[in-house]
Amino acid sequence: MASKAPFPIVNGQYKMKAEPIVRIGIVLAQDAKREMQFSVPSDGYRVGTENGGDAPLEKGTVYTVRALGDGVALSPDAIGGVHASLRVAPPAGSRPTKAGDGIHVRKIVAGRGFHWQKLIDQTLSDVLEFFSQDDAIVMVNEIPIENYLTGVITGEMSGECPIEFMKAQAIAARSWLLGQPVAPHPGQPYLWCNDDCCQRYQGTEGWSQRAVDAIAQCRGEVLITESNKYCDARYSKSTGTVSEDAENVWAVPIEGLVARLDAPKGSHAEKFFPVTEENLREYILGDWTKHSDAYCSPTVVPEETIKKYLGRVDETGQYFRWQKKLTQADLRESLTTRGGLTDLASVNALRPGARGRSGRLRELDVVYTTKDGGTKTHKFTSEYNIRAALSTKFLFSSCILIDSDVAPDGTLRHVTLNGAGWGHGAGLCQIGGLGRALKGQRYDEILLHYYSNVRLERIYS
C-alpha cells in the first residue's frame, strides 16, 4: 500500500499555498489488532468504500471493524461485505473545537515498546480509514495538520502547560513533521504514526482552550535552517541539564541540533559543559543538583507539581535525576531478551565507552561468561541500544554513572545506575522548555535556545 503523501517531506520550497492534510497511522499492523470498535458522536457521519459505496452511521451504535484476510468488514453491516478499505467521515463542514470532539475509538496502543505502553480510548477528529495488513487492522487518521498538532501538544505534554511553551512545542512538532529526511514508515498508507517513534498524538481527548489558542497563535510557523529547509526539530522529555548533539544519537548530524547548556548565564552548571567521564559523578550526584537553576530541574519545575504538565500516558517520576538498581538476574534477563545476548550465562562487568557532550553513553562494553564457559565482550553502540539492553522495559536515559557491587570471589552481584534526564536529549527539552515558559520566556526565545542557527517562518496562513 503506497502512502498518499499530500506533499513531499523535504523539497527545498518551504512556502505552501494552503494548510496540508496529513495521514497518521493510529493502529499499526504490529499492534496485531484483529478488530477495532468505534462509535460516532452524532448523526451525519458516513462510511464509504474504495469503489464508491456509501452509507450513514448512527449515533449510539458501537461499530466493529474486523480484519478478514486482505480486507475489512463492518459490523453492524451498514455498507455490506468485505472491502479493501473503509473510510469513516464526519458531516461536511464540521470541525473539532473542544476536548472529546470526534469519533470514539476503543483500546488504542500508546507507548509502543516503551515502559509506559498501555491501551487507551481516544477520540479522533476528521477522517478514519481502515485497512487489513498481515491479517491485522491498520487504522489511519487523515487530518488537517493544525488539528493534528493540537492533539500532539496535548499528548506529548498536557493542555495545562503555559501557552508560550505549547506554541514552542507546536512549532517544533510542525517542523519535525515536515523536516524528516525520509518517511519513517515507507510503503504504508500513512507517513507518520501516532507514537513516540514519530510524535505522540492522542486525538482530542486532552484538548484545552489554551492549547487551541496556542495553535491558532502560531498557525503555519516552522523553523527553517540556514540551508532553507524545514528543521528536523526533534525533542525529548528532559536533557538533565545538557542537551546532546544529533550525531551522537542518530549517527548523522542534523542542522540546528547541537549540544546546549540549558541553564541561565553564570550558572554553576556551566562547569559541566561538556559532561565528561571526569566530571560525571559530580554532574549526576553532586550537591549542586539539590538547588540547580537548570530549567529542567525541580527547583524550576517542582516534581510535586509536574504531573499536571505531563501527557496522560506519562508516568510521574524523577525526570532530572534518578536511580535504578539491577541485580545479576535483572541484567541476564534484559541483556538476553532485549540485548540479544542469547549465549549469556552471567554478566562479569559493564564498561562505559564513548559519551556525547551531555554525558549520554554512545558505547557500552558488556563482559560476560557464555553458557559454554567462555568469556565474551559485546559492544553496544547508540544510546537507544544501550537503553534497551539495560532494562526489561526501557532505560530512561543513557546518561548514567555505573557503580558495580562485586563479591569477594569477583562475581558481579548488582549494579546501581544513577542517571540524568529522560530520553535522547537532542533538540527541545520539554521540561526545560516548560521551565523557561514558567520563568516568563516567549516561545521564540525558547525555540532559538534549543535549535541553533534557525529562523521562524510562516509557511501558510
Query: Is the separation of the CB atoms in 188 and 31 below 8 Å?
Result: no
Query: Is the separation of the CB atoms in 131 and 189 below 8 Å?
Result: yes
> In the prediction, which pLDDT does 12 show?
46
Q: Which of 147, 106, 103 is nearest to 128 (CA)?
A: 103
> In the prediction, which pLDDT does 125 show?
96
> In the prediction, which pLDDT does 2 show?
40
Query: Is the separation of the CB atoms in 275 and 413 below 8 Å?
Result: no
> In the prediction, which pLDDT does 1 show?
37
- Sole residue written with cell 553564570: 266
> In the prediction, which pLDDT does 317 show?
72
Q: At what angle do helices 163-179 and 209-217 cross, to 10 degrees?
A: 60
Distance CA 54, CA 353 (A): 60
Query: Is the separation of the CB atoms in 244 and 355 below 8 Å?
Result: no
pTM of the model: 0.92
> In the prediction, which pLDDT does 310 show?
83
pLDDT in tens, the chain (461 residues): 344 444 444 444 557 778 988 999 999 999 999 999 999 999 999 999 988 889 999 999 999 999 998 999 999 998 888 999 999 999 998 999 999 999 999 999 887 876 668 899 999 999 999 999 999 999 999 999 999 999 999 988 988 999 999 999 999 999 999 888 777 888 899 989 998 788 989 999 989 999 999 999 999 999 999 988 899 999 999 999 999 999 999 999 999 999 999 999 999 999 999 999 999 999 999 999 999 999 999 999 998 888 888 866 566 678 999 999 999 999 999 999 999 999 999 999 999 999 999 999 999 999 999 999 999 999 999 999 999 999 988 899 999 999 999 999 888 999 999 999 999 999 999 999 999 999 999 999 999 999 999 999 999 98
> In the prediction, which pLDDT does 442 show?
98
> In the prediction, which pLDDT does 91 show?
95
> In the prediction, which pLDDT does 191 show?
85
Helices H, strands E: what count in the chain?
9, 23
- Name the E strands within 145-256: 192-193, 221-225, 235-236
Cis peptide before 189 (omega within 30 of 0): no
> In the prediction, which pLDDT does 4 show?
43
Distance CA 271, CA 283 (A): 9
Query: Is the separation of the CB atoms in 142 and 126 below 8 Å?
Result: yes
Distance CA 14, CA 18 (A): 12
